[in-house]
C-alpha cells in the first residue's frame, strides 16, 4: 500500500507545525494499487489483538521504526489498500489512548509489520511509543477507514500528501517503484527548504504542479489527499479550481 506523506528528517518541528513540510505528488495507474487478499490476515476489525515488538530502530531524534511479529513466519497482516489500523496505549498520566496508524509494510512482507512513528513531546500516543521496549506488546485493531479500493475503480490516481508519515527509508521505496514501473508510477517531491543541490519542487504544492504531475480531471480518475488540515484545505481549493469534482477527490 502506498502511504504518501513524505518528510525530510532534517526539517525542524516548528516548521512542520507551520506546514513547512515536504510534500509528494504521485501519479499512479489504478491497477498497480491492488495487493493482498484481506481474508488471510491477522487483524480483527472488532477487537484489539496484541502483537509483540521485536525491533525498534531509531531513525532520528524523534522518529523510530517499530517492527512487530505476526503469529507465524508466513502470516500476513491483511490490511487492504487505503486502510489503517488503530493502536492502543497509555499516555504519561496512565490514561488509555487510541490512535490510527498506517503500516509502511505490505502483505508481501510476511511474518511481521512495521510502523514509523514521529513522537511529539506532548503527544499522548507518542509517549506510549517512546516508552515501548523490544518484547512489549501493542494492541492493534483493524482494518479501519472509509477508502475501499477495488481493481478497476479508476483508470489512474493522483496522490497529494504532506506530513511525517513517510520517512526517507520509504522515499527509497517510492523511487524504486518509479524506476521499476516508469510508465505506471511517478513521484515528484516538493520541499519548502530544500538542500543544495535539489531537482524537485520548492515551496508548497501549487496548481501548476498538480496540473503537471497528476492525471487531468476525468470521470475515471481519482485524486487522493492526506496531510495536515491546512494542507488539505489548500489542496481542495486547488483541485476545485482545476475542475476536479468532489467525486474525483478523496480525503483521508
Q: Which residues does the chain have with pLDDT short of 70?
A: 1-40, 163-171
Domains 13-34+149-251 and 44-144 alike in fold? no
Place of cell 532520528: 60
Percent of the chain past pLDDT 70, that is, above it, reads 81
Here the cell at position 71 is: 503469529
What pLDDT, on the 0 to 100 scale, is given for residue 207?
94
Residues 169-208 have pLDDT tens digits of 466 778 888 999 999 999 998 888 888 999 899 998 999 9
CA gap 38, 76 in Å, rounded: 9
What pLDDT, on the 0 to 100 scale, is given for residue 181?
92
CA gap 46, 139 in Å, rounded: 12
What pLDDT, on the 0 to 100 scale, is given for residue 26?
64
Report, at the CATH architecture level, how domain 13-34+149-251 is classified.
3-Layer(aba) Sandwich (3.40)
Here the cell at position 27 is: 501519479
What pLDDT, on the 0 to 100 scale, is given for residue 171?
65
Spell out the domain ranges in the chain. Answer: 13-34+149-251, 44-144
Q: Evaluate whether 97 touches 89 at the Cβ level (below 8 Å).
A: yes
State the DSSP string of 56-112: EEE-SSSEEEEEEE-SSTT-B----TT-EEEEEEE-TTS-EEEEEE--S--TTSTTE
Sheet containing 156-162: order of strands: 201-202, 185-191, 23-29, 156-162, 221-226, 249-251
What pLDDT, on the 0 to 100 scale, is given for residue 168?
44
Report, at the CATH architecture level, how domain 44-144 is classified.
Beta Barrel (2.40)
Amino acid at each position: 500500500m502506498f502511504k504518501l506523506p513524505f518528510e525530510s528528517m532534517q526539517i525542524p518541528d516548528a516548521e512542520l507545525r507551520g506546514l513547512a513540510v515536504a510534500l509528494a505528488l504521485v501519479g499512479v495507474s489504478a491497477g498497480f494499487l491492488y495487493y493482498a487478499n484481506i481474508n488471510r490476515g491477522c487483524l480483527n476489525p472488532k477487537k484489539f489483538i496484541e502483537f509483540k515488538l521485536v525491533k525498534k530502530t531509531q531513525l532520528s531524534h524523534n522518529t523510530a521504526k517499530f517492527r512487530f511479529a505476526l503469529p507465524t513466519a508466513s502470516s500476513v497482516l491483511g490490511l487492504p489498500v487505503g486502510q489503517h489500523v488503530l493502536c492502543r496505549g497509555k499516555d504519561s498520566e496512565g490514561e488509555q489512548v487510541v490512535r490510527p496508524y498506517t503500516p509502511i509494510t505490505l502483505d508481501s512482507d510476511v511474518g511481521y509489520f512495521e510502523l514509523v512513528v514521529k513522537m511529539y513531546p506532548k503527544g499522548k500516543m507518542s509517549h506510549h511509543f517512546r516508552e515501548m521496549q523490544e518484547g512489549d506488546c501493542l494492541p492493534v485493531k483493524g482494518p479501519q477507514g472509509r477508502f475501499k479500493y477495488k481493481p478497476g475503480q479508476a483508470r489512474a490516481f493522483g496522490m497529494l500528501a504532506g506530513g511525517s508519515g513517510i520517512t526517507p527509508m520509504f522515499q527509497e521505496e517510492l523511487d524504486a517503484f518509479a524506476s521499476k514501473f516508469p510508465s505506471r508510477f511517478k513521484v515528484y517531491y516538493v520541499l519548502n527548504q530544500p538542500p543544495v543541490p535539489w531537482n524537485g519542487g520548492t515551496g508548497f504544492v501549487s496548481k501548476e504542479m498538480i496540473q503537471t504531475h497528476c492525471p487531468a480531471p476525468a470521470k475515471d480518475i481519482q485524486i487522493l489527499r492526506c496531510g495536515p488540515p491546512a494542507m488539505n484545505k489548500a489542496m481542495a481549493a486547488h483541485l476545485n479550481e482545476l475542475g476536479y469534482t468532489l467525486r474525483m477527490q478523496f480525503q483521508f
